[in-house]
Structure 1
């Protein structure tokens, strides 16, 4: 047995291990795991092959923070394989004098909270993946239209307001999820075939999306501040659910931060079930 550097030929085996323990791995985590700029180590067990791995990368304006994804196959746990991989990655990271290292792991199955807590990590936030396998939702006669550039100012202003408290409470920086910029404006125009806007008397009231290729199929879902508490979140969500089903999806998945209980309860009322919960933990080094 030995710890060695990752090779491209390891990818298939690593994904096999992951899917034995994770119901869903989102696009961002999968991209990070195999990022060419990362330090990726694998634990190679003789006559078996790769049974665990750790991918480590740096982020921030000055690359002053770190992120690691550590995973050991379920049947190979409690053999100190994870500890060996973590020690090797931490030895690699030490010269960078990082401020903080974050990691993510599943808690609703083979919970690793105790393991990471003993290493000094503390909980940051939780994330649910919810899934819907039902049929069409009731249709509304509200006016819901595809996104257009004329909605730009309202869209950016209201999405910032909608997610600001959640981002502040959970320390998601920057607290404003988007900025007013020409780059953002162009990105929204490029995504207009996937974005929908609910109008009330011609005014921007809510928005949601349909991205059939993403884990968070219908996000971001939000309601303008002046129209909250009136059921418009449910209406726009039902609309994009129907649109996703119309496009051929057999099931719909959403990602929602554990803190956002109101959204979790709304999605449950529409037939979504939580199929996976992960926690992000942080290790502060300074």
Structure 2
């Protein structure tokens, strides 16, 4: 069992971002899979979520390609974010670019581009760095959900 917080964007921030993100393209598929699995591996392992490497094959991409946006430098993925209606999902930053402010820039880009009245996201209680990022940028916990993964 573990906890997931539902957070809502309740306190808009005035910060803006200048980064440009691009829609997901299949040419980034293998790199995205590697970065995504690495970003979530430790958490999924600690919370005993199987499979530990979530993206196992290409079927993952069939359902989400139009919802994922990439922040790319040259040909390398710095990070990405996905939208599902009014929900920000799967905000990830390539491990070698973490703790450099890219997570905040990607979050700000998402907030500027989602264009919905009520913006929410979900984050595992385990992911303290993400919770801190979201709180500093206008999100507040509105609900706690227990996930029984046993």
TM-score, normalised relative to structure 2:
0.90
Moved over 4 A (4+): 134-137
Please tell me whether the aligned partners of residues 134 and 251 of structure 1 are also in contact (alpha carbons under 8 angstroms): no
Q: 1:268 aligns with which of 135, 139, 142?
A: 135
CA distance in 1, matches of 2:147, 2:12: 33
CA distance in 1, matches of 2:148, 2:103: 30
CA distance in 2, matches of 1:282, 1:236: 30
Report whether the alignment pairs 1:243 with 2:120: no
Deviation by residue 1:106-165 (Cα, 9 ceiling, x = unmatched): xxxxxxxxxxxxxxxxxx211100001344753322231111111101110000000000
Which residue is 2:60 aligned to? 184
**Deviation (angstroms), 1:270:** 0.4
Report whether the alignment pairs 1:230 with 2:100: yes
Q: 1:143 aligns with which of 20, 25, 35?
A: 20
CA distance in 1, matches of 2:3, 2:65: 30
CA distance in 1, matches of 2:65, 2:80: 12
Aligned residues: 150
CA distance in 2, matches of 1:282, 1:195: 26
Higher relative contact order (CA 8 A, sep 6+): 2
Q: 1:155 aligns with which of 32, 50, 55?
A: 32
Superposed CA RMSD in Å reads 1.9
Summarize the alignment of residues 89-128 of structure 1 with structure 2, pairs less than 5 Å apart: 124-128=1-5
Please tell me whether the aligned partners of residues 210 and 243 of structure 1 are also in contact (alpha carbons under 8 angstroms): no
TM-score, normalised relative to structure 1:
0.49
**Deviation (angstroms), 1:174:** 1.0
Q: Which runs of 5+ in 2 are unaligned?
A: none
Summarize the alignment of residues 1-286 of structure 1 with structure 2, pairs less than 5 Å apart: 124-135=1-12, 138-179=15-56, 181-185=57-61, 187=62, 190-212=63-85, 217-245=87-115, 249-281=116-148
Which residue is 1:78 aligned to? none
Q: Which runs of 5+ in 1 are unaligned?
A: 1-123
Please tell me whether the aligned partners of residues 137 and 241 of structure 1 are also in contact (alpha carbons under 8 angstroms): no
Q: 1:282 to 1:157 in 2, by over 3 A?
A: closer
